[in-house]
Chains A and B, each alone.
Chain A
């Protein structure tokens, strides 16, 4: 698309979200939607992230707080079970970590270049909170 000339696109400052017609799109999972290549779902828009959230399923209680609070639909959840993080769209805002209620948290921020296994290996212990 990037090579198209001035006479090779639809007029107007307009982009189509999907290829062809769609029905009941709200009940269709993202991976099953016919996103067009113009849709930002198909592009990585996360390249300015400097810290990333890492998900540790050992502590997750599937409360869905992170999924609800994520401002960029970057928490992947299926059948009310937390699956992981969409790193192509996550901007690293850390709201998911902030709202995570488990002890220790099931989501923590790490340097963007940090290896995921290394992050999980160094996960903090349960904190004893004074009553």
Chain B
């Protein structure tokens, strides 16, 4: 039996430690991992928990992130609770296997500490890797701070392993801004945390020798489409009810309330920014200050990126006249992902909304409160005019001549 760890009600943890403590508390059977900044401490901490007797499980050291996820896939198909962590280039190397995990309906949990993608090489936080995974068939949760990183891991295991869902899930946090920033984190004791997620219930596991199965089969034009349709259908219909149920149960247990789409100051708001990660907390602060000046501005934070919360966003955006989509990833030849997704969300609605796109914070560049104030001023002008008063896409916080498109 694994040793129990005594935790204070509030521990001072960074996002990495928060994630690794959650991984310890759910007692994972197999972690196959390869280190990469800034997610390394997650598996490093986990390895030390295991070595010190706090986890009954296996830690598999592998030669690459491709091998790490492959090891996780094999262990998950064999019938165990499985998780790992990565960032950036490691995530990019994992991509091929991410599609294997989701297509095989294996509930692997991947902590992604978001970091820029080279070139030029950069170890700091932006959302390029998170965006790279968005078509891979995984559920994607986004944490804004270490507390979220801790809590969302429990939610992720509970939802992903549900036999109605059986899809892998990522828990994202911002590199360094969350992963290396120590904050007070409200903890659960080991027994409470474990029982929130519960025992792992295998499904079609390879170690059930009385019911031999072949995993990872080949299908051609006669079957492939049906498998993908089934997976897409389940993502579109089965995941949100389970996430909501998990959020409700978690609120009952801890008092901490999560929503699929987080809204701040959006009632009666004329203009909102829609963003993810640590930018949400900065934007909330600016929005609070502007509210004191009488400006009707709010913030929408995307908590679940995949599946895309279409209905929840339509609801959250009701009555809002101007939307700024804040993307922390270079769109490289089009609008940002949030802009495009939001455009697709609101285009058939009854209300006319002005939607503009801001690209910010690449490679760990700070998002300043002064920049958010300027964005809100532009969005309020858009709301007033009923049409864009700025270029549709602007890159903010970048040196040199002003850069914008359309």
Q: A11-B230, A16-B212, A22-B211 are in contact. List 13 more A-B contacts (CB 8 A).
A: A6-B225, A10-B204, A11-B166, A12-B103, A12-B204, A14-B104, A14-B213, A15-B213, A17-B214, A18-B211, A22-B210, A23-B210, A25-B212
B257 close to A (CB within 8 Å): no
Which of B106, B222, B226, B229 has the most chain A CB within a 10 Å cutoff?
B226
A13 and B234 CA atoms in complex are apart in Å by: 15
Are A13 and B215 in contact, with the CB atoms below 8 A?
A: yes
Are B217 and A14 in contact, with the CB atoms below 8 A?
A: yes
Are A4 and B226 in contact, with the CB atoms below 8 A?
A: yes
A9 and B211 CA atoms in complex are apart in Å by: 17
Contact with A along B117-135 (1 / 0, CB 8 A): 0000000000000000000
Count of chain B residues near A, Cβ 8 A: 24
Within 8 A of B (CB), among A2-58: 2, 4-7, 9-18, 21-23, 25
Known: A2-B222, A11-B166, A12-B104. A17 touches B230 (CB 8 A): no
B227 close to A (CB within 8 Å): yes
Residues in B neighbouring A17, C-beta threshold 8 A: 212-214
Within 8 A of A (CB), among B208-267: 210-217, 219, 222, 225-227, 229-231, 233-234
Residue in contact with A21 in the complex, picked from B105, B204, B210, B233, CB distance below 8 Å = B210
A72 and B360 CA atoms in complex are apart in Å by: 58
Looking across the interface, which residue of chain B has its beta carbon closest to that of A21? B210
Residue in contact with B204 in the complex, picked from A6, A14, A22, CB distance below 8 Å = A14
A7 and B234 CA atoms in complex are apart in Å by: 10
A4 and B230 CA atoms in complex are apart in Å by: 12
Are A13 and B211 in contact, with the CB atoms below 8 A?
A: no
Residues in B neighbouring A21, C-beta threshold 8 A: 210-211
Residues in A neighbouring B215, C-beta threshold 8 A: 12-14
Residues in A neighbouring B212, C-beta threshold 8 A: 16-18, 22, 25
A-B contact pairs, 28 of them (CB 8 A): A4-B226, A6-B225, A6-B226, A6-B227, A6-B229, A6-B230, A7-B230, A9-B226, A10-B204, A12-B103, A12-B104, A12-B215, A13-B105, A13-B215, A13-B219, A14-B104, A14-B105, A14-B213, A14-B214, A14-B215, A14-B217, A16-B211, A16-B212, A16-B213, A16-B214, A21-B211, A22-B212, A25-B212
Are A11 and B105 in contact, with the CB atoms below 8 A?
A: yes
Looking across the interface, which residue of chain A has its beta carbon closest to that of B164? A11
Are B105 and A7 in contact, with the CB atoms below 8 A?
A: no
Residues in B neighbouring A23, C-beta threshold 8 A: 210
A82 and B80 CA atoms in complex are apart in Å by: 43
Instruction: Tell me, rounded to whole Å, the shortest Cβ–Cβ distance linking A18 to chain B.
Output: 6
Known: A18-B212, A21-B211, A25-B212. A13 touches B227 (CB 8 A): yes
Residue in contact with B226 in the complex, picked from A5, A14, A18, CB distance below 8 Å = A5
Are B213 and A13 in contact, with the CB atoms below 8 A?
A: no
Are A13 and B226 in contact, with the CB atoms below 8 A?
A: no
Residues in B neighbouring A6, C-beta threshold 8 A: 225-227, 229-230, 233
Residues in B neighbouring A25, C-beta threshold 8 A: 212
A6 and B233 CA atoms in complex are apart in Å by: 9
A101 and B213 CA atoms in complex are apart in Å by: 38
Within 8 A of B (CB), among A34-88: none
Instruction: Tell me, rounded to whole Å, the shortest Cβ–Cβ distance linking A98 to chain B.
Output: 29
Which of B105, B106, B166, B214 has the most chain A CB within a 10 Å cutoff?
B214
A23 and B211 CA atoms in complex are apart in Å by: 9
Residues in A neighbouring B106, C-beta threshold 8 A: 12
A11 and B216 CA atoms in complex are apart in Å by: 12
Instruction: Tell me, rounded to whole Å, the shortest Cβ–Cβ distance linking B348 to chain A.
Output: 26
Residues in B neighbouring A9, C-beta threshold 8 A: 226, 230
Residues in B neighbouring A13, C-beta threshold 8 A: 103-105, 215-217, 219, 227
Residues in B neighbouring A22, C-beta threshold 8 A: 210-212
A6 and B230 CA atoms in complex are apart in Å by: 6
Which of A10, A15, A23 has the most chain B CB within a 10 Å cutoff?
A15
Which of A2, A10, A14, A22 has the most chain B CB within a 10 Å cutoff?
A14
Looking across the interface, which residue of chain B has its beta carbon closest to that of A1? B223
Which of A6, A9, A11, A21 has the most chain B CB within a 10 Å cutoff?
A11
Looking across the interface, which residue of chain A has its beta carbon closest to that of B216? A13
Looking across the interface, which residue of chain A has its beta carbon closest to that of B165? A11
Instruction: Tell me, rounded to whole Å, the shortest Cβ–Cβ distance linking B209 to chain A.
Output: 8
Instruction: Tell me, rounded to whole Å, the shortest Cβ–Cβ distance linking B108 to chain A.
Output: 13
A69 and B22 CA atoms in complex are apart in Å by: 51
Residues in B neighbouring A14, C-beta threshold 8 A: 104-105, 204, 213-215, 217
A21 and B212 CA atoms in complex are apart in Å by: 8
Within 8 A of A (CB), among B62-91: none
A25 and B103 CA atoms in complex are apart in Å by: 29
Instruction: Tell me, rounded to whole Å, the shortest Cβ–Cβ distance linking A92 to chain B.
Output: 22
Residue in contact with A11 in the complex, picked from B210, B213, B234, CB distance below 8 Å = B234
